[in-house]
Amino acid sequence: MSTLHTVNKSPFERNSLDTCLTVAATDSTVLMYEDGVAGALQNTSASSAISDAMGQGVKFAVLGEDLDARGLSSDRVMDGISVVDYAGFVQLAADHDNVQSWL
Amino acid sequence: MKFSIQVNEGPYTHQAADTAYQFTKAALENGHEIFRVFFYHDGVNNGTMYGVPPQDDRNVQSLWSELAEQHELDLVVCVAAAQRRGIMDEDESKRHGKGASNIAPGFRISGLGQLIEAGIESDRLMVFGD
């Protein structure tokens, strides 16, 4: 059973990304959007936890519109994290068996 | 695929109301069905018709109303959350002895059963909030 986890707060503000990563299983995807996009940037204190989860088969995505709205270039996003638009967000929700919003 | 959307945050707060709207719009554009949008907690503030933001800003409340008109969306405002925050339709307004109603076009007031039903009837329930 695959799950799309959605995280909308920065890992430097709340611990929702960390909490999410404790339960995100293989074949699940974590989508970072709104202020959560900060977690997708390279070389932050969140990066190693994300790399570890990638090693366990968790996939990652970030919402491009929310990167743009914050002046963050997609060049700064960690390797292995795919940048999606709203249509891609919808597709991710459809492709997984269920969705967990980490609010 | 059949989606339902739960909105827990009002407009102009953080970003959840905007994200919920953009997600709903994208789902419709990509051929999906929106069974219902349920506005809960501060999310009921999306359903007032008296929001008048500056002209160069988006009007979140009217965006919902316009989308509802285009796609015959079912926009449901939680009655208990709405009463606390002064969102009323004609009937509620009369019942509480208030002078006017303020619910925006395309929205209706109902109970939590509508959220439960949305969860049962839809393939995915997307929750947006703070």
Domain ranges of chain B: 2-128
When pLDDT is cut at 50, 70 and 90, the band that residue A72 belongs to is very high
- Residue of A32, A84, A90, A98 to mutate when probing chain B, most B C-beta within 10 A: A90
Enter the DSSP assignment of B114: H
Residues A61/A91, Cβ–Cβ less than 8 Å: no
What whole-number distance in Å separates Cα of residue B37 and Cα of residue B79? 14
What whole-number distance in Å separates Cα of residue A89 and Cα of residue B27? 9
Q: What is the pLDDT of residue A67?
A: 98
When pLDDT is cut at 50, 70 and 90, the band that residue B112 belongs to is very high
Q: What is the pLDDT of residue B99?
A: 92
Please indicate, yes or no, whether the overall pTM of this predicted structure exceeds 0.95.
yes
Which helix (H) or strand (E) element contains residue B80?
Answer: helix B79-85
What are the structural domains of chain A? 3-102 (3.40.1260.10)
Contacts of B40 (CB under 8 A, 6+ apart): B6, B7, B8, B78, B81, B115
Could you report the per-residue pLDDT of B89-110, keeping only the tens digit for each?
999 999 999 999 999 999 999 9
Could you report the per-residue pLDDT of A31-71, keeping only the tens digit for each?
999 999 999 999 999 999 999 999 999 999 999 999 999 99
CATH superfamily, with its number, for domain B2-128:
DsrEFH-like (3.40.1260.10)
- Mean pLDDT score of chain A: 97
- Residue of B6, B19, B127 to mutate when probing chain A, most A C-beta within 10 A: B19
Contacts of B5 (CB under 8 A, 6+ apart): B20, B23, B24, B34, B36, B37, B38, B125, B126, B128
Could you report the per-residue pLDDT of B20-71, keeping only the tens digit for each?
999 999 999 999 999 999 999 999 999 999 999 999 999 999 999 999 999 9
Q: What is the pLDDT of residue A1?
A: 87
Compute how many other C-beta atoms are within 10 angstroms of the C-beta atom of residue B95.
11
